[in-house]
Chain A
C-alpha cells in the first residue's frame, strides 16, 4: 500500500507538472441569431488598441447598418492568444466566421485544413486584380485562394535631416547604396571619448533583420524560391551577412549592446531621440515620429541597394481576412470579407490608421486624401510596395527560420565563417524540405 501510494504520488506529481501547457477553453456556444432574426457573424481580430479598435468597429458598424439579414459581432482577442484560440476553435468545430490572420502563413493553414477554400465564392475573374500581386500570391495554395489580403507594410530608410546638415551631408540626398550608407554612417557617428553619442547607422536596429538584408542583396530572393529550391547560402547572402558582421566589428559588439540597452519606444526610440541618425523601419513608424518627435526634421527613402544596378528591395508583411474551416455561415462571411477588402473600408482603414492596405484603388485614394507630410510619407510607402517582397512560410519546412537563425547568430558573434554557417543552414533546411 505504502509503496503504491508513493508511486502514485510521484506519478501525479510528475504528470501534474508536465501538463502545464493546456489548450485554450472552448468558446461558449452563443445564439446563432440576434433577437430580430439576423444571422450573427463572429469576427475575430487582435485590434484592441485605443487607435485601432474604434476604426475597425466603425467599419463593422457601417456594414451592420447596411445589412438586414446579418449582424457582425466583432471580438477582440489579444495578439498572443488569437492564433491558438482560432486553432482550438477550429478543432472543436466552433470557429469564428471571419478571422484576421497572418499573411505569410496562409498556405500553411490551407494545407492543414484550417481555412476555407475561397475559389467557390469568387466568380469574378477580376477580383484578384484589386490587390497588389505580391500580396495575392501569398494567399494561394495549390492554385486556390484561401484568404483575402487586408493590410500590408513596407520598410523604408528614415534619416535625420538635422544630423545630416550637422555632418555636412545634403539632407535631400539620402544614401542609395550600401557603400554610400557606410560612408554616410561614419560621417554621422558622433563620439565623446570612447562613447558614442550618436551612431550613424547600424543595420539591425529598426525592423530589417539579417534575412531582410540578405534578401535585399540577393535581388529580392528570400531563403526559398518559388519552385521550393533552398537558397540560403548564395554568394550574395554570404556577402550580406559578412557586411552586417563588418558593422559589428567597426562599432564593436559591446558598444552595440550598451547602446541597445537604452532603447525604448516613443520618445526614447533611438531615432526619435536623435541617438541613431538613420534607421530602416516600417512605414507606420512615421506616426511615432509625428506624435512623439516634436518638429523633428527627417526624410524617408527606399532601403539602399547593394549596388547601383540593383533594386532597393524591401521586406513586407501583413494580414489577411479568412474563413476558418468549419464556419457555419461561409457565404455571409465571404460577403463581409468582400466588404472589408473593398475600396471604401480599405480607404477608411488606410487614412485613419496610416496603414498600407492591400486594395490598390484604396491605396491611391488614401494617398490623395491625406495632407502635408502625412501624404508625402504615405506616397513613399505606396511607391515602395513595388519593391517590397513577402516571404511566405514554406509549407514543407515551416520551421526553416529556427534552422537558419542560430547559424546567423554564430556568424554575427564571430564564432563561424558566414560561408560555412550558411552552407550548414542550407543543408539543414534542404533535408527538412525533402522529409
Chain B
C-alpha cells in the first residue's frame, strides 16, 4: 500500500516538472526519463510483490485449501468425524430463520464495532496529537502510552477483570472520587460491552504510533503558511493536520473494522466458562461460531457462519473503500 502510494507520488512530481519545460532537446530527455520511470516502476512493483511474497505463498499453500474446504463444508452437515452430507443452503437457512443466538451474536458484534472503531480511532488521533508536542520527556510519555499495545492476550484481560471489579476495582474507585457510583461492568449485561470498549481504548498505542509517524510527515511549511494567514490552532488541526493524515485514518478504520468483527478472546476469557457473559451480552459472532464448531461439532454450520461473516465484512470493506474516495486525501493527487 505504501510502496504503491510512494510510486504515485514520485510519478506526479516528475509530471509536474515536465510541464515546465518545452524545448525539443528536453523532449528527448523526457523520453529517457519516461523510460527510466517505467523501469523504476517495474522494479518497485517487483519489490512490492517480493515483500508480500511470504504472505501470498502462505495464503496459496497453507490457507487456500482449508478455505475452499470450509466453503464446501458450509453446504454440508460436516461434524469432523462421522458425516459430511451435502445439505444445500440448509445451514444458511438455519442461521437466518432458526438460530436466535445468531442474531444475538451479530447484534453484539455490531454494537461493539460501531462504538469501538470510532472511539478508538479518535482516541488514537488525540493521543498522537498530544504526543506530538515538543515538551521535555516526550519520549518517555510516548513509550509509556505505547506500552499497553505491547502487552496482549489473556494477561491483559485478567488485569482488566480486576480493574473492572465492581467494588474493589480501580475503575470504580476512581469514579467514586468524583461521586460517581460505577456500574457492575462485567456483571451487568448493559455494561459488558462498554467495558470491553473501554479496555480497547486503553491499548490504542499501536494506532497512536501510526498517527504519530504520519503527523510528523505533515510539512511544516503548511503550518507556517497558515499561521501567516492568521489560522488558529483548531483551524490548523482541522484544515491541515486532519486532511493530511486521512490515508492513515482510512487504513486504521478499515483494519480495525475488520479486526472488530473478529472479537473473540476477550469474551472467551472474561466471561464465566467462556459462555458469553450475563444474558449473552458478550456472545460475539466468533464466540458463537466457536461454540458451534468445537463444543457441538457442528462444523458445517460453523463454516457457513464463517462465510457469512466473510460476506458481511467484505461488503462493509467495499463500502468503506468507496466512501473512502470521498474523504481520503492523498498528497499525490490523482487518486481515483
What residues of chain A have their CB less than 8 Å away from a CB belonging to chain B?
2, 5-6, 9-23, 83-84, 87, 90-91, 108, 111-114, 253-254, 257-258, 261-262, 325, 398-399, 401-403, 405-406, 409-410, 413, 415, 428, 431, 435
A84-B294, A113-B81, A415-B279 as given contacts; A14 in contact with B317, CB under 8 Å = yes
Closest 8 CB pairs of A and B: A113-B82, A258-B167, A261-B165, A257-B166, A406-B280, A409-B279, A398-B296, A409-B278
Say yes or no: A262 contacts B262, CB within 8 Å: no
Contact of A16 with B59 at beta-carbon distance under 8 Å, contacts A402-B291, A410-B279, A415-B279 already known? yes
Mark interface residues in B243-283 (1 if CB within 8 Å of A CB, else 0).
00000000000110011001010000000000110111001
Q: A261 touching B67 by the CB < 8 A rule?
A: no
Of A12, A112, A325, the residue contacting B297 (CB under 8 A) is A112
Q: Is the CB of A261 within 8 A of B167?
A: yes
The answer to whether A14 and B313 touch (CB under 8 A), given A258-B168, A398-B295, A410-B279, is: yes
B310 at interface by CB-CB < 8 Å:
yes
Instruction: Determine the chain B residues whose CB is within 8 A of the CB of A257 once the complex forms.
Output: 165-167, 184, 187
Q: Which residues of A lie under 8 Å from residue B254 when comparing CB positions?
A: 13
Minimum CB distance partner of A18 in chain B:
B310
Within the complex, the shortest CB–CB distance from B53 to chain A, in Å, comes to 12
New A-B pairs, 11, CB < 8 Å, besides A21-B293, A257-B165, A398-B297 = A2-B4, A5-B4, A14-B314, A15-B63, A15-B67, A87-B80, A87-B81, A87-B294, A254-B184, A257-B167, A258-B168
CB contact under 8 A between A12 and B168, given known A18-B313, A19-B63, A398-B296: no
Q: Is B238 located at the chain interface by the 8 A CB criterion?
A: no
Residue in A closest to B185 when the chains form the complex, CB atoms: A257
Query: In whole angstroms, how far apart are the Cα atoms of A84 and B294 in the complex?
Result: 7
Task: Please determine whether A406 and B80 come into contact, CB atoms closer than 8 angstroms.
Answer: no
The answer to whether A17 touches B275, judged by C-beta atoms less than 8 angstroms apart, is no
Q: Does B135 contact A (CB under 8 A)?
A: no
Contacting residue for B56 out of A12, A21, A261, A262, CB 8 A: A12
Chain B at the A interface: SS class: helix
**When the two chains form their complex, are residues B167 and A10 in contact, meaning their CB atoms are under 8 A apart?**
no
Whether the Cβ atoms of A402 and B310 lie closer than 8 Å is: no
The reply to whether B189 and A409 form a contact with Cβ atoms under 8 Å apart is yes
Q: Chain A residues with Cβ under 8 A from B290's Cβ?
A: 21
Q: How many Å lie between the Cα of A325 and that of B309 in the bound state?
A: 33
Smallest CB-CB separation from A415: which chain B residue? B279
B85 → chain A closest CB, angstroms: 13
Cross-chain contact B166 with A261 (CB below 8 angstroms):
yes
Which of B1, B63, B167, B255 makes the CB contact (< 8 A) with A254?
B167
On whether the beta carbons of A90 and B66 are closer than 8 Å, the reply is no
Quick check: B81 and A12 within 8 Å, CB to CB? no
Q: Are A406 and B310 in contact (CB under 8 A)?
A: no
Q: Is the CB–CB distance between B297 and A405 below 8 Å?
A: no
Asked if A261 and B168 sit within 8 Å, CB to CB, the answer is yes
Q: A14-B310, A18-B262, A257-B167 are in contact. Are A91 and B80 (CB under 8 A)?
A: yes
Q: Please state if B168 and A262 are interface contacts (CB–CB under 8 Å).
A: yes
Cα–Cα distance between A258 and B169 once the two chains are bound (Å): 9
Q: Are A19 and B66 in contact (CB under 8 A)?
A: yes
Could you tell me if B262 and A20 are in contact, using CB atoms closer than 8 angstroms?
Answer: yes
Interface string of B56-72 (1 = CB under 8 A from A): 10010001001100000
